[in-house]
Amino acid sequence: MTAPLRLACIDSDAPPLFHLADPVTGRRRGYEPAVAELIAAELGRPLEWVYLPWAEMIPAVQRGEADAVLCGQGITESRAEQVNFTRPYAVFHESVLVRRGDPVRTAEDLRGRRVAAISGSTNMALAETFDGAVPVGFGGDSDDVFGDMLKALRAGEVDAVVDDDVVFVPLDDHPDYELAFTVRTGNRWGIGVSKDRPDQLAALDGALGRVIADGRLAKAWASWLPALEYPFDRGGEE
């Protein structure tokens, strides 16, 4: 029997990246699940999700409890010290969300404001560059860290949230929030694989390269992220 492709992810609602898993079928919907399904099909392996808190995903891959992590992993220097990454399957920029009616429109407007981001993320690294802002880290031990940050923003516990532009797309007309500004950081997202599994890295990277080259990834992007510019050509170049 073919071994399943076991991918680590959080089980939370952050469309269009992903929705909560269906409680009956276990299937996930969204751009990242679509990428995972394409890769698993290309490898001829059934897909299996391993649900973990944010901070536990990479350690689980390192321990061999999952084959890889495919869940919002910007390719950063610190993460690359822990796992090896495939070529990117997405490139996103970073945005700042505030409460509707807040006059913040630039990084300078955040001086003295509390700015939330996931601890250790590229978003937190950006928040820390906002001169005079007060970064507030949200822990990776949560099962829904994105939801936690939105709740804190709504309650006035923080004044802004930094995250990748894609996760704020569904909030465009939300009565409680509005987009303040976007920084074109060009964060490359990849699939993280244990450094002890070069065979797994080669297989996943090769499969991703093929679904980029034949246009299947572009179709998934157009289906789930039509408001965002597709970042690759057929050779996978950005």
Structural domains of the chain in order of their starting residue, each with its CATH number: 5-89+190-224 (3.40.190.10), 92-186 (3.40.190.10)
Question: Residues of the chain with pLDDT > 70: what percent?
Answer: 98
Does residue 62 carry a pLDDT above 90? yes
Does residue 235 carry a pLDDT above 80? no
pLDDT digits (tens, 9 = 90+) for 78-131: 999 999 999 999 999 999 999 999 999 999 999 999 999 999 888 999 999 999
DSSP-derived pairing of the beta strands 134-138 and 114-118: parallel
80: its two tokens: 């690359």
pLDDT digits (tens, 9 = 90+) for 186-226: 999 999 999 999 999 999 999 999 999 999 999 999 999 99
Global pTM reads 0.83
